[in-house]
Structure 1
Amino acid sequence: MQIYRIPFKAMASTCEVVIADHDEHAMFAKAQEAIAEVRRIEVKYSRYRPDSIVSCINAQAGRDAVVCDEETLALFDYAQALYQASDGLFDITAGILRQAWNFKSSRVPAADELQVLCQRIGWAKVERTGDKLRLPLAGMEIDFGGFGKEYAADRAAAVLQAAGVTHGYINLGGDIRVLGPKPDEQPWIMGIQDPRQQDKIAASIPLTTGALATSGDYERYFEVGEERYCHILNPRTGMPVRHWRSISVLAPLTALAGSCTTIGMLKEKDALEYLQQTGLRFLAIDQQGKVHTQAAA
């Protein structure tokens, strides 16, 4: 079997489908199905597209409820579970904080600016009746950015599995779902980036199945003096998290791995207790560069 790599762009990320197959033509057809599934999810849920269901719901904030299909309702169920598991820190209504934070500049928003936005945050405020969802306050928004890419990786993997792929993986900007080992049954070696040296690997993880995701303060950030301000924002204060450089989690599904990394970053000093309770393997690097790990329970 030959290993084929198909790069593509999606969700503002560099992505790749890797498949081992006997037939290049068949492999390419399978890869294109998976890529099409990623793009379908991007079109359906991107807040950048005015015709997406997310934009539709946001446009009706403070006004009417919007009818949602089963897939979207299932994602809201997942958002609810994450909200509860994180004690309200993982909140898909917190995306409006980007109105105050622009990580291409080095401006720290004023406290009163953040306070105004925080008053419009709160998954508990969202009204859901049957298949309808309503944002009760004008200016409220939902945003699936916290797990949309990871969900797309899992859906693309499902498409590849249905097509009979047993050796390969999908990588959506570092959110990785492995379908099976290399053709010789050896694991794929996945590198975890050093959060302070872009060209250096902090750890190498062998994977034959499952998922790997990482959240960190190095993806989008700016520095003022000695303070680093990253894109992972606490919905209660509107301020960036500061306790961890990065957290990586291994899980059966990419959505689960990614959600756990983000919740860990948001929990700051309480992250290790939370991660240990998940029973999942993780690697966390604190602000002093110390590595904390846990093997599978």
Structure 2
Amino acid sequence: MVASIYGVAFAAMGSRCEVRIAAANDDTARHIATHAIGEVRRIEHKYSRYRRDSVISRINAAAGRCEIECDKETVALLTYADALHSSSNGRFDITSGVLRKAWDFRAGVVPEQRALQALLPLVGWQQVVRDKSTVFLPHQGMELDFGGFGKEYAADRAAEVLAERGVAHAYVNLGGDIRFLGPRPDGKAWDIGIQDPRDMDATVASIPVSRGALTTSGDYERFIEVDGRRYCHVLDPRSGMPVSYWRSVSVVAPLAITAGSCTTIAMLLEEEGIDFLERSGMSYLAIDHQGQIFRRT
């Protein structure tokens, strides 16, 4: 008898989330999913910049004053951020979150150049001082932000929690960042629709995935339009201005954190992003500013 698939919805990290899992019944699915959801919430509480007691908030509060001791998990994520900075020619920079102080996408106003110029000296991963277990932000006002890979890391960890409990047919979806644990119970792949970045009620493609992860970055997730121009939330750390070449980039990779990093870097590299995606060796679907689709399956 093939098990049925149950969906357990929850909210986390500012997103609508779901665990879809093959189980004998709904109660069993919810019980197992609780462990994955608990892991997502642990990571959110530990690294959210919105929580004053989080690791990130403690690091940021100490900027310009003192170094902060970090545990192994945090050190590993900082090391990963360093690798992303290097592989993206400095475009993927977890100190660039401070630019949100100038960009208020709810207000729908493009910031004045002087507001950005005031913040740019606080952007620059190369300024951060690290050793084996500590991190120090040398200038008051500098900030770290794990938002560039936090959801993807949480999706991976939640999936690992499920795997440890013997789950073989499931996926964890955190606001569109999806990590898969095997195919459907009947052996078929999960078919995941890719959002049309200019029509929220339509998809442009369906990607079958059995294992690994699928994530998407796009200019439609959070943006404003002023005088006919779209300004999205993906900001170039060199100028503080939004990127504009890609409408969306989707990547399939073994891990969600890898897929998500690739989509963001491709967005940040703009026209050079396609070469980066080709070099990555991973499957992707990218839509440029003119609506042209590029893909490798």
Q: Per-residue CA shift, 1:128-166, capped at 9, x if unaligned?
A: 122111000000000000000000000000000000000
For residues 67-216 of structure 1, the aligned pairs below 5 Å read 67-216=69-218
Question: What is the aligned counterpart of 2:249 among 247, 250, 268?
Answer: 247
Cα drift, residue 104 of structure 1: 0.8
Question: What is the aligned counterpart of 2:268 among 266, 269, 276?
Answer: 266
SS in 1 for 2:152: helix
Cα drift, residue 28 of structure 1: 2.1
TM-score normalised by length of structure 1: 0.98
Stretches of structure 1 lacking an aligned partner (at least 5 in a row)? none
Matches of 1:80 and 1:59 in 2, distance apart?
Answer: 21
Matches of 1:163 and 1:26 in 2, distance apart?
Answer: 12
Aligned to 1:32: 34
Q: Select between 135-144 and 114-123 the one with higher mean Cα deviation.
A: 114-123
Matches of 1:32 and 1:63 in 2, distance apart?
Answer: 40
Instruction: Name the Cα RMSD after superposition.
Output: 0.8
Cα drift, residue 25 of structure 1: 3.6
Query: Which amino acid is the alignment partner of residue 265 of structure 1?
Result: M
TM superposition outliers: structure 1 runs of 4+ over 6 Å:
none
Query: Which amino acid is the alignment partner of residue 68 of structure 1?
Result: C
Q: Per-residue CA shift, 1:240-274, capped at 9, x if unaligned?
A: 00001000000000000000000000000100001
Does the Cα contact within 8 Å between 2:285 and 2:296 map onto a contact in 1? yes
Q: Per-residue CA shift, 1:153-204, capped at 9, x if unaligned?
A: 0000000000000011010000001101111101111011000000001110
Matches of 1:78 and 1:266 in 2, distance apart?
Answer: 17
Aligned to 2:11: 9
How many residue pairs match? The answer is: 295
SS in 2 for 1:190: strand
Cα drift, residue 23 of structure 1: 4.7
TM-score normalised by length of structure 2: 0.98
Matches of 2:15 and 2:75 in 1, distance apart?
Answer: 26
Matches of 1:44 and 1:155 in 2, distance apart?
Answer: 14
Query: Which amino acid is the alignment partner of residue 20 of structure 2?
Result: V
Matches of 1:118 and 1:109 in 2, distance apart?
Answer: 13
Does the Cα contact within 8 Å between 2:19 and 2:172 map onto a contact in 1? yes
Percent of aligned positions that are identical: 56
Aligned to 2:283: 281
Matches of 1:69 and 1:85 in 2, distance apart?
Answer: 25
Stretches of structure 2 lacking an aligned partner (at least 5 in a row)? none
Matches of 2:184 and 2:115 in 1, distance apart?
Answer: 51
Aligned to 1:292: 294
Matches of 2:131 and 2:19 in 1, distance apart?
Answer: 39
